[in-house]
A and B are shown apart, each in its own frame.
Chain A
């Protein structure tokens, strides 16, 4: 008889998913209806998704680093922190790649190029490469302990690029505009409707990240169980073989 499937959803995650979907759908509808600006025309409407995607990538990589530090610290070491780090890094890679893609789509009509080796763009591309390397490293070591230790150290090294990305527009002269999150300050000259929709976008991407993290962590837990169950079966098979050999001798 086939065992009943245990999906990764729970009532709480379903509620979270519904909230994330609603927030994202509202962001898209309101974002596409934003008035064109004098400087950028209709392309400024991308502000509702591009900075929130970057924020979600920062958040995901930050959670990955915190979980990695918790795994490295002996007092809090537990397999769940390694799973949270792995799950969050993968989601962060998705958000970071989307940040680069939407930035490129925004850059083409406003700057005239799809890509330029600007400090903000280059440091973001480096961040993506670092966490892709982190995910590749997780596939190398077979021993779970060694894998967790190496990847935790790698995550702490890679996350050092996050403040460089964020402050790159202040530290270097770049083509990229100033920090979008600074536009949320009361003295900023951004129109109120843009601020509201960008705030909604930030909330939506945070909810989407949280929902993905819950499900991705449960997938990691299932993979660990499956790995453990496979090992148990292999041990049982070897014991059975040994018992047969002993009986025959």
Chain B
């Protein structure tokens, strides 16, 4: 039978790592929803905007 200290050590470790992993996955999901759909995750960065055509007047 393991003592309470041992169980606490294992519990804190597994619980904290699981919570952190969920937090990272959730953050990724939220961010991917916030981005425009045509931006690939592993593709090149979005190009610099070009100048708008000159307008008369």
Taking Cβ atoms with an 8 Å cutoff, the residues of A that contact B are: 2-9, 24, 28, 31-32, 41-43, 45-46, 49-50, 53, 91, 94, 97-98, 101-102, 105-106, 108-109, 208, 211-212, 215-216, 218-219, 221-226, 228-229, 232, 235-236, 239, 243, 246-247
Counting from the closest, the 5 A-B pairs by CB-CB distance are: A3-B37, A8-B28, A222-B31, A6-B32, A105-B9
**In the complex, residue of chain B having the shortest beta-carbon distance to the beta carbon of A45:** B6
Count of CB-CB pairs between chains A and B under 8 Å: 124
Please pick, from A24, A105, A224, A226, the residue contacting B14 in the complex, using a CB distance under 8 A: A24
- Provide the residues of chain B in CB contact with A53, threshold 8 Å: 13
- Provide the residues of chain B in CB contact with A94, threshold 8 Å: 16-17, 20
What's the interface size class on B, roughly?
35 or more
- A239 engages B10 (CB within 8 Å): no
Complex formed: what's the CA distance from A221 to B21 in Å? 17
- Provide the residues of chain B in CB contact with A105, threshold 8 Å: 5, 8-9, 12
In the assembled complex, 28 residue pairs joining A and B whose CB atoms fall closer than 8 Å, in A order, are A2-B33, A6-B32, A7-B29, A24-B14, A28-B10, A28-B14, A43-B3, A45-B6, A46-B5, A49-B13, A53-B13, A97-B16, A98-B12, A101-B12, A102-B13, A105-B5, A106-B9, A212-B21, A216-B24, A222-B28, A222-B31, A222-B41, A223-B31, A229-B39, A235-B49, A239-B52, A243-B52, A247-B57
- Provide the residues of chain A in CB contact with B28, threshold 8 Å: 7-8, 215, 218-219, 222
